[in-house]
Amino acid sequence: QKEVEQNSGPLSVPEGAIASLNCTYSDRGSQSFFWYRQYSGKSPELIMSIYSNGDKEDGRFTAQLNKASQYVSLLIRDSQPSDSATYLCAEEGAGNMLTFGGGTRLMVKP
């Protein structure tokens, strides 16, 4: 049974700070990982994908993958109140299906 674990939060950070969201996964064979953002009452919206060890940057977002430690993280720089949402970590299994964590709720306070 594949598992993806996230701290449910809420994670509270002040506006302008760096938010750090973490995720661990159980399947050592997993190759592809995704971060989705989900606003309350809305569907998940893809933010980042990462396939290789190391960092991947896109604007204010940086995804980090460490396959040896089975650990994925998302850093949000210069956090804005509009970043307040639930962030879902997902790994891709055979057949392209995604296994999601329970999500971390982020609150950015003005």
Partner 1 sequence: GAGVSQSPRYKVAKRGQDVALRCDPISGHVSLFWYQQALGQGPEFLTYFQNEAQLDKSGLPSDRFFAERPEGSVSTLKIQRTQQEDSAVYLCASSAGQGVMQYFGPGTRLTVT
Q: Contact with partner 1 (CB under 8 A): which of 79, 103, 106, 108?
A: 103
Least spacing, CB of residue 40 vs partner 1, in Å: 11
Question: Three-state SS for 77?
Answer: coil
**The tokens 């750090």 sit on which residue?**
20
Question: Residues touching partner 1: how many (CB under 8 A)?
Answer: 23
Q: Contact with partner 1 (CB under 8 A): which of 32, 60, 64, 70?
A: 32
Q: Contact with partner 1 (CB under 8 A): which of 13, 19, 25, 44?
A: 44
- Other C-beta atoms within 10 Å of 46: how many? 11
Give the residue with the Cβ less far from partner 1, 44 or 65.
Answer: 44
Least spacing, CB of residue 51 vs partner 1, in Å: 9
First to last CA, the chain: 40
Interface with partner 1 includes 99 (CB under 8 A)? yes
Least spacing, CB of residue 99 vs partner 1, in Å: 7
Give Cα separations from 56 to 60, 65, 74, 82, 110 (angstroms): 11, 9, 10, 22, 27
Interface with partner 1 includes 96 (CB under 8 A)? yes
Alpha-carbon span 24 to 5, nearest angstrom: 5
